[in-house]
Amino acid sequence: MIRIAAVGDIHMGPESQGVLRPAFETLPDCADVLLLAGDLTRHGTPEEARVVAREIKDLGVPVVAVLGNHDHHDERPEEVTAILQDGGARVLEGQETVVECAAGRIGVAGTKGFCGGFAGRNAGEFGEPLMKEFVRTTRRHADSLRTALERLDAQDCAVRVALTHFSPVPDTLAGEPLEIYPFLGSYLLAEAIDGAGADLAVHGHAHAGTEHGMTSGGVRVRNVAQPVIGRAFHVYHLQVPERVAAPVGGQAH
Ligand SMILES: [Fe+2]
Ligand SMILES: [Fe+2]
């Protein structure tokens, strides 16, 4: 069994230093990896990022993160990324990483993602250049997620996880006003996840949403925004698929 701890939208600032640390210190007992689904800071300042870095340093489990829209607000995402990396996090944007644990290899592909809405109620790549660029931005994030998941396919992972800040599905937005769904995620992320395949998709951003959802391709989606899960993190247990053993004297296909 692979144990994946996840939380997003911890929105840390100077006065929240130490709030999550006691819970995070229990991670080696209950999880193989901690995923952080973006919006780790309030305004994306280096000072706030340093609070997060101290909170996650030397936890005893690998930490894999994506940034959220709040982590971009101060327009210094590279600096925020570098500070989180100093704290030991692997920060993904259109990349993948593999975490080795006793039960097998955990592949994580991550991107912040972006918005635009869900099939039938989505922004289209049409009209003004700004509108086209908006949709292309989402498409670039989705494409990078797809190729990162595809690269993991060749890396003998027991499970593959898609980590985003924006939501790939509308299911996990239930509770949010319908009018803002187009700003909470994009169906292009779900198309990427279903196209490349994954065992779990984790996102944040929708503070008033719902934890459980699913892509149309059947991939489990979990909204781990802290206000949704109501705790420092949630742990998801994933079954390691059984390998087909090669018959004696024969070959496995
Ligand atoms: Fe947030
Ligand atoms: Fe957000």
Q: What is the CATH number of the domain that holds 151?
A: 3.60.21.10
Q: What separation in Å is there between the alpha carbon of 52 and the centre of ligand 1? A: 14
Q: Is residue 253 part of a domain?
A: no
Q: Is residue 59 part of a domain?
A: yes
- 98, 107 contact by CB (below 8 A): yes
Cα 152 to Cα 201: distance, rounded to the nearest angstrom: 14
**Both tokens assigned to 110:** 């991550």
Cα distances (angstroms) measured from residue 57 to each of 28, 32, 43, 200: 13, 16, 21, 26
Q: How many domains does the chain have?
A: 1
Q: Is residue 117 part of a domain?
A: yes
Quote the domain boundaries for residue 216: 2-238
Q: What separation in Å is there between the alpha carbon of 65 and the centre of ligand 2? A: 14
Per-residue pLDDT of the chain (253 residues; tens, 9 = 90+): 999 999 999 999 999 999 999 999 999 999 999 999 999 999 999 999 999 999 999 999 999 999 999 999 999 999 999 999 999 999 999 999 999 999 999 999 999 999 999 988 999 999 999 999 999 999 999 999 999 999 999 999 999 999 999 999 999 999 999 999 999 999 999 999 999 999 999 999 999 999 999 999 999 999 999 999 999 999 999 998 775 444 444 344 4
Q: Is residue 16 part of a domain?
A: yes
CB burial string 79-91: b at 16+ within 10 A, e below: ebbebbeebebbb
Q: Which ligand is nearest to the CA of 41?
A: 1
Cα dihedral 5→195→69→53 (10° resolution): 30
DSSP reduced 3-state for 143: helix
Q: Is residue 149 part of a domain?
A: yes
